[in-house]
Structure 1
Amino acid sequence: MSGPKLYLTILGYEIGEVIGRRTYSVVRRAFSQKLQRSIAIKIIDKSKQVDDYLTKFLPKEVSILAQCSHPNIIKVYQIIESCEHTLFIMEEAQMDLFDLIDSRGHLSEDVTQCYFRQIAQALEYFHAHHIAHRDIKCENILLSADDVPKITDFGFATCMKGLESCSCTTFCGSAAYAAPEVLNGGKYDPFKADVWSLGVVLYLMVTGCRPFADGELSKLRELQSQPLQFPPSPSLSDCCQSLINTILNNNPKERPDVSRIIKHQRFKE
């Protein structure tokens, strides 16, 4: 850490403690003299990464972050590249959505509605710009100091603009949030897979548990093929259950896009 820390200190950043660890990165809290605010710095040590990540996923993440601007997408102030590291200078967040749910057991439908609409609007922005996130999950949704949800972690994101076929074959993300067609292998529509993951996020927010057990893939696929079950407590409104069932449709062709989800009756109340 001495190399990037010294360099960042020269650039006017006061480096603080580690606030997060991911598969490919470490996130530290810092203070920016230039911005006069607390920030977060995502540090990727290239010497510790596999070639596939360095040649495919990291360049995509850099490109996508450089072009995205939305109030519910984590803001990146600067991207610094060197031979040894890639540094993302980002806005600071207080916690992720999973930690919030874990601390409360579950979120009320009213609180969920406020968060979920903003998350869905951010995903709608991605899709309108031909970008599939491919790793939507509660752990990748941060909450700012003023309680605004922000989608982050774009390591698996991909831009489909200009491609002849809107399909992927790479398995990305967490199995518990992955759509049936992703788990089954073969080609899949990454935008419809994002929508499924969004449905899992919604289910987890209002119930405090995942809709399908995160175990062996064969068992997970079996559970996904069965009618969706809701726990007896908390009691959910028919409208909320209807929305979740609509999103978690096993048939990707019948699964709604994000724009249709935002227009659902649940958001008209």
Structure 2
Amino acid sequence: MSGKVNLSKYFNKHYIIGDLLGDGAFGFVLTAIRLSDSTEVAIKFINKTKIPEDSWIEDPQIGRVPQEISILNRINHPNIINFIEYINEEDYILLVTELHGTEWDASNPLLNPIKNSGLRLAKQQKIEERVIRKRTSCDLFECIDTKMAKATTQKIFAQIVLAIYYLHSLNIVHRDLKDENIVIDENYHVKLIDFGSASYIPKRPENYFTRFNGTTHFASPEIVKKKAYRGPEAEIWSLGVLLFTIVFGENPFQNKDEIMEGKYMFPSKIDPGKLNRAF
């Protein structure tokens, strides 16, 4: 993020670094310009030392890579981010994908109050001199801060369901389904991102997942109880949490006890008539 990462001649020949999109435990994500056609892409810098040994896989097409890259190289769906290439650097694996979504801020000229109803005012931000600019998020978390029409929420959720249905048909589970891992453009076209926790659905109970790397608010009761889980069933639970979040703009569960009990309350500002129309 400081601009001090040494990059290979290959990278510098093909890309120019742009803005910061986000960072986390395994690395960070930047935009970049692909010099061959001036296309803006997203590049995830994955710290090699943070990749668990069991997350590496021998892919018959592209060799030994993190499973995230192998899975993205295999799939092709309009609601899942497109894999472009990966670059093996000295300290990082660079995952290059398409860049999708628009910055959800009223200062963005692509957005307008008519097409994007409920668009909030631009946030007041302190301007600081930085080596890399932090770009306003393009994800669903920012988008649902607006008041959306029923048809819009249906359109968004249907696309997410189609993406998850496609993954399950290939015996793949994302395992970190949440609003921040869904990027969305001004036309409400969504794409699922961040396959760092994705894996193949285990066939035998003894191989069920025991580790969870996702966000607790979207975790199913069996995960919160630290039980072994298969994956798809937990992902259906996460879809339900997402639907509630999209419709009401807030998470249905505030703590682990509420998740384990399946206990939630609709927002007090919602009356029964509006609730029926929302669904």
CA distance in structure 2 between the aligned counterparts of 1:232 and 1:179, rounded to whole angstroms: 24
**Higher alpha-carbon deviation: 134-143 or 79-88:** 79-88
Describe the shift of the 1:147–1:110 C-alpha distance in structure 2 as closer, same or farther (beyond 3 A): closer
Q: Choose from 194, 197, 217 the match for 2:238.
A: 197
- State whether structure 2 residue 134 is matched by structure 1 residue 89: no
Describe the shift of the 1:117–1:201 C-alpha distance in structure 2 as closer, same or farther (beyond 3 A): same
Describe the shift of the 1:63–1:50 C-alpha distance in structure 2 as closer, same or farther (beyond 3 A): closer
- State whether structure 2 residue 160 is matched by structure 1 residue 160: no
The one-letter code sitting in structure 1 at the alignment partner of 2:262 is S
Paired residues of 2:43 and 2:94 also in contact (CA < 8 A): yes
- State whether structure 2 residue 276 is matched by structure 1 residue 238: yes
Paired residues of 1:171 and 1:183 also in contact (CA < 8 A): no
Q: Where do 5+ consecutive residues of structure 2 fail to align?
A: 58-64, 103-137
Q: Choose from 178, 192, 199 the match for 1:137.
A: 178
Q: Choose from 123, 147, 157 the match for 1:116.
A: 157
The one-letter code sitting in structure 1 at the alignment partner of 2:75 is C
Q: Where do 5+ consecutive residues of structure 1 fail to align?
A: 242-269
TM-score by length of 2: 0.74
CA distance in structure 2 between the aligned counterparts of 1:35 and 1:196, rounded to whole angstroms: 41
**Higher alpha-carbon deviation: 78-87 or 92-101:** 78-87
CA distance in structure 2 between the aligned counterparts of 1:153 and 1:28, rounded to whole angstroms: 13
Coordinate RMSD, CA, aligned: 2.4
Q: Choose from 3, 6, 14 the match for 2:6.
A: 3
- State whether structure 2 residue 121 is matched by structure 1 residue 98: no
Write the mapping of 1:1-269 to structure 2, written as runs, cut at 5 A. 1-4=4-7, 7-10=10-13, 12-47=14-49, 49=50, 51-52=52-53, 55=56, 59-93=66-100, 94=102, 95-102=138-145, 104=146, 106-144=147-185, 146-160=187-201, 163-165=203-205, 167-213=208-254, 215=255, 217=256, 219-221=257-259, 224-226=261-263, 228-235=264-271, 236-238=274-276
Cα deviation 1:132-189 (Å, max 9, x = unaligned):
111000000011465311101111111126x334832222311100000111122223
Describe the shift of the 1:7–1:182 C-alpha distance in structure 2 as closer, same or farther (beyond 3 A): same
CA distance in structure 1 between the aligned counterparts of 2:15 and 2:185, rounded to whole angstroms: 20
TM-score by length of 1: 0.77
* Cα drift, residue 61 of structure 1: 0.7
CA distance in structure 2 between the aligned counterparts of 1:68 and 1:55, rounded to whole angstroms: 18
CA distance in structure 2 between the aligned counterparts of 1:31 and 1:126, rounded to whole angstroms: 29
* Cα drift, residue 225 of structure 1: 3.3
Q: What is the aligned-residue identity percentage?
A: 31
> Which structure shows the higher helix fraction?
1
* Cα drift, residue 109 of structure 1: 2.1
Q: How many residues align?
A: 230
Paired residues of 2:174 and 2:195 also in contact (CA < 8 A): yes
